[in-house]
Amino acid sequence: MSTLHVVSHSPFSDNRLDSCLRICGAEDAILLCGDGAYGLHAPALHTKGVKVFVLAEDMQARNLPLPDWADSVDYPGFVQLSLDYDKVNSWL
């Protein structure tokens, strides 16, 4: 069963992203939004091998480059991702 993990907090202020990465499976994906977009700078995210998406608006607002190992989505893309995965888990 696949899960879309939504992370909206900076990985530099708490350990939500690390906790998320510990339980991510091969069929899971992570969507970074809000300050979670700073997760694009977290080395563990790239080395885990899970699919990574970032909300384009939040990435642009923080002037972050899009790494080649991640994909950006707009709000309709966010909705589509939540339909594509069996479950959505928001890391509040």
- Beta-bridged to residue 52, according to DSSP, are 30, 70
Find the domain containing 18 and state its range: 3-91
For 1-92, strand residue ranges (E) read 3-7, 29-32, 51-55, 70-73, 87-91
pTM for this prediction: 0.95
Predicted local distance difference test score (pLDDT) of residue 48: 84
Predicted local distance difference test score (pLDDT) of residue 67: 96
Neighbour order of strands in the sheet with 51-55: 70-73, 51-55, 29-32, 3-7, 87-91
Predicted local distance difference test score (pLDDT) of residue 11: 94
Q: Is the pLDDT of residue 36 over 90?
A: yes
- Average pLDDT estimate for 60-83: 98
Q: Look up the CATH number of the domain holding residue 70.
A: 3.40.1260.10
| Rounded Cα gap, residues 13 and 4, in angstroms | 22
| Helix, strand or coil, per DSSP, at residue 43 | helix
| Rounded Cα gap, residues 19 and 59, in angstroms | 22
Instruction: Count up the domains in the chain and report the number.
Output: 1
- Average pLDDT estimate for 19-30: 96
